[in-house]
Amino acid sequence: MIAWDPNMEMMPEPELKKMQFKLLKTLVYRLYSFSNFYHERMDTHGVHPDDITSLEDLRRLPFMYKTDLRDGYPDKIFTADQEELVRYHVSSGTTGKPTVVGYTKHDLETWTESLARALTSCGLGRGDVVQVSYGYGLFTGGLGLHYGAERIGASVVPTSVGNTERQIELMQDLRVTAICCTPSYLMHIGEAAKKMGVSIKNDTHLRAAVLGAEPWSEQMRLRIEEEMGIKAYNIYGTSELSGPMFCECTEQNGIHMWSDICLVEILDPETDEPVKEGEKGEMVVTILQKEALPIIRYRTGDITSMDTSPCSCGRTHPRIARLSGRVDDMLIIRGINVFPSQVEHALLGIPAVSGHFMIEVGRIGALDTMLVRVELNPEAFSDKINDLIAIRSMVAHTLKNALNVSVDVEIAEPGSLPRFEGKAKRVIDRREY
């Protein structure tokens, strides 16, 4: 078994727990002393750093939500000065404002090391040629995996997303052995390759894929592995935690959550009580070592279960199961997180449209589609087709700007979309994973 950091990855559990407690205690004292946000939160919650006397006392600390980052936009809750920051990444917020994550040099180092462990645990290393087809830029996927793959000594092909035919040519010409991208983009690459008369299985050197950033199923894994003749590994992370960080090992039996980097709780989202091991609940994560944007008890919204039994790979860090859904209504469209509340927020800024809308999500081939049906106000509605076309393209433009993803727009007559008596159900998701 090859591990990137064997001493850490195979540290006996009691030692790991001791380390976690020390890190937690230090973190809480630091934040209470230096962060107004955390100081006030802890005071309001009636908890003082002295109250943290064991790992279990983590539960006494207040939760943190995505909305806290949005409210702190752009950097109000950072605990490092701007001069100490070496990177920003930005992801979708729940409404108008995105969430910004800052990184110090140390934060980037921890993130890169976690990815070096992750990629090594999928059997990759020096000699591999890794094509990074996650988006580069504000999204954490591209740059995160780029630095992780360089760290393990692999040769990186930084293709980012798009230009699919060229990606396939490069994959062949540079003898790419591993690809990192969303599962749906890999399926799309597979389809495009077929059209070009290229068999990924027979005409390339690809042997592994590191797939994440959106939900995918065990059936999809089997299909990808069979069709492409590769091993497909599940990688997880969120921008608030730093980006992709946690991954399956070659046992493909759960995602290892590095215990020196984070503390994981699985809670019943209704009662906030921990569920039993193996039962599903919302994953709540505390990042133990983060300088610029500390994260304590972050409600990820992701549903999974935990397994603390030893993994046959020898790693002692607990594993989470494949994610099985979200507690909120966040959608992931072509790798971009979209909240229906963002759609509503953007639409309400357009005087011609009423507050009634519906979202239909589907898939053509391997690519996600999103259609937003928008009802117009009676005053804005006209039977002149050109007027409607102009409104439609204006709405599509506004939504693209707000969501960072192109959507189809259909204009609906006033009064024609469903009205809801209880909770509005505005999203129809027809995708199969």
Shortest distance (Å) from residue 364 CB to ligand DLL? 21
The residue assigned the tokens 């990177």 is 87
Stretch that binds ligand DLL, among 148-156, 231-239, 344-352, 375-383 (CB under 6 A): 231-239
Shortest distance (Å) from residue 213 CB to ligand DLL? 4
Q: Count CA atoms closer than 13 A to 294's CA, side-chain side.
A: 22
Residue with smaller CB distance to ligand DLL, 241 or 311: 241
Are 49 and 28 in contact by the 8 Å Cβ rule? The answer is yes
Stretch that binds ligand DLL, among 1-9, 161-169, 170-178, 235-243 (CB under 6 A): 235-243
Nearest to 399 by CA among 343, 355, 348: 343
Tell me which long-range contacts 422-428 makes (C-beta under 8 A, separation of at least 24). 426/340, 426/357, 426/358, 426/359, 427/329, 427/331, 427/340, 427/358, 427/359, 427/360, 427/361, 428/358, 428/359, 428/360, 428/361
Stretch that binds ligand DLL, among 27-35, 134-142, 225-233, 402-410 (CB under 6 A): 134-142
237 near ligand DLL, judged by CB under 6 A? yes
Residue with smaller CB distance to ligand DLL, 167 or 354: 167
212 near ligand DLL, judged by CB under 6 A? yes
Shortest distance (Å) from residue 165 CB to ligand DLL? 23
Are 299 and 61 in contact by the 8 Å Cβ rule? The answer is no
Adjacent-strand bridge partners of 302: 326
Residue with smaller CB distance to ligand DLL, 272 or 329: 329
Q: What phi and psi, each to the nearest 5 degrees, are found at residue 18?
A: -60, -45
Residue with smaller CB distance to ligand DLL, 214 or 375: 214
98 near ligand DLL, judged by CB under 6 A? no
Nearest to 143 by CA among 236, 246, 244, 5: 244
238 near ligand DLL, judged by CB under 6 A? yes
The Cα–Cα gap between 287 and 289 comes to: 6
257 near ligand DLL, judged by CB under 6 A? no
Count of residues interacting with ligand DLL (CB under 6 A): 22
Using the rule CB under 6 A, which residue among 38, 147, 236, 258 binds ligand DLL?
236
323 near ligand DLL, judged by CB under 6 A? yes
Residue with smaller CB distance to ligand DLL, 16 or 407: 407
How far CA 243 is from CA of 212, 266, 318, 407, in Å, comes to 11, 20, 19, 25
- Positive or negative CA dihedral for 393, 398, 404, 409? negative
140 near ligand DLL, judged by CB under 6 A? yes
Residue with smaller CB distance to ligand DLL, 21 or 111: 111
The Cα–Cα gap between 144 and 155 comes to: 15
Question: Site mask, ligand DLL, residues 284-303, x = CB under 6 A?
Answer: ----------------x-x-
254 near ligand DLL, judged by CB under 6 A? no
Residue with smaller CB distance to ligand DLL, 182 or 354: 182
- Positive or negative CA dihedral for 239, 243, 246, 250? positive
Residue with smaller CB distance to ligand DLL, 332 or 403: 332
Binding site for ligand DLL (CB under 6 A): 91, 134, 140-141, 212-215, 234-239, 243-244, 300, 302, 323, 326, 332, 337
